[in-house]
Amino acid sequence: MKRIGVFTSGGDAPGMNACVRAVVRTAIYEGLEVVGIKRGYAGMIEGEFVPLHLNSVANIIQRGGTFLKTARSAEFMTPEGREKAYRNLKKKGIEALVCIGGNGSYTGAKIFYEEFGIPSVGLPGTIDNDLYGTDYTIGFDTAVNTALDAIDRIRDTAHSHERVFIVEVMGRDSGFIALDVAIGGGAEAVMIPEDLEDWDKLLKQFHRDGKRKKSFSIIVIAEGDEQGGALVVEQKMKKLFPELKIRSTILGHVQRGGSPTSRDRVLASRLGSQAVYALLDGQTSVTVGIVNDEIKLTSFEEAISKKKEIPKHLIQLAEILAI
């Protein structure tokens, strides 16, 4: 193997640049050449390739987003799209791929290997932390810290005006961000898709808080919660607790950007480097993750089909500390 390609795919996440840097530097250290593929699978189909040298990845470790850009490609889902991508890779002499993204990106890489025999290794890049095969995904720590910073500010207004604030954080299908933010932000309640009793618990909490006379409260809700988002819960709560002054804040994409935390930079660097070693070792169709501080390879098959469990003890901790 002489030349590999690297690309970012799906939603961007802070730390993706640090990860590409680690892939490029490790590959060059081991005598390989690296080509960057712009805009994920879309760029593979359009032939958007850039040679990456040591200097190409200088001064990016601290930057959010992805300098390679990212996209979701409907065309890659078609056999014709994949055929075009394959021809472009062949022309460029790219023999293997490192793909930084989520389940959709792994699925594309898996099919691609089955059809054309181009080996790939996947790296978990998403702020949601909902990928099986790793304790943490690249970008999660930064997103949580960004949301926490916002909550600390909201808390000032909540306290000054004696209000209830419902803060919606990202997490399309999962509550990892919400749970960490709720614990770190000292929230009175947390609502996540993995806990179907959270609305009942919230009501109990507010009846109890009414008796205890808490003057202000923070509720953290994941955007994917089964009750709907912050605005829906605000309307429901206003009907049930007309005496409370309730406001909602949706943090949205602010959580996706910004300079990665040290944890995300180190995680991205470790994973990026190990992806190259996995390819050199002859691995394919696997993701590289870190579980209990050890590098772990998981087949795409397993990573895609298994759901990462939310830590139940953290749900309990959030409840206990909100008393």
**Residues binding ligand F6P (CB under 6 A):** 11, 126-128, 170-172, 223, 256
Shortest separation between residue 184's beta carbon and ligand F6P, angstroms: 18
From the candidates 12, 128, 130, 225, give the one annotated as an active-site residue: 128
Shortest separation between residue 182's beta carbon and ligand F6P, angstroms: 16
Q: For residue 43, what are the contacts with CB-CB under 8 A and spacing of at least 6?
A: 7, 37, 49, 69, 71
Which of these, 162, 174, 156, 290, lies nearest to 225 by C-alpha position? Answer: 174
Shortest separation between residue 18's beta carbon and ligand F6P, angstroms: 18
Element (H, E) at 247: strand 246-250
Look up 128 and say whether it is catalytic.
yes
Cβ proximity to ligand F6P, 126 vs 285, nearer residue: 126
Residue 71 amino acid letter: A
Shortest separation between residue 316's beta carbon and ligand F6P, angstroms: 24
Residue 32 — left, alpha, or beta (φ > 0 → left; ψ -120 to 50 → alpha)? beta
Q: For residue 166, what are the contacts with CB-CB under 8 A and spacing of at least 6?
A: 219, 221, 230, 233, 234, 237, 246, 247, 248, 249
Cβ proximity to ligand F6P, 25 vs 39, nearer residue: 39
Cβ proximity to ligand F6P, 5 vs 171, nearer residue: 171
Residues 303, 10: Cα–Cα separation, whole Å: 16
Residues 283, 300: Cα–Cα separation, whole Å: 11
Cβ proximity to ligand F6P, 137 vs 284, nearer residue: 137
**What is the set of active-site residues?**
128
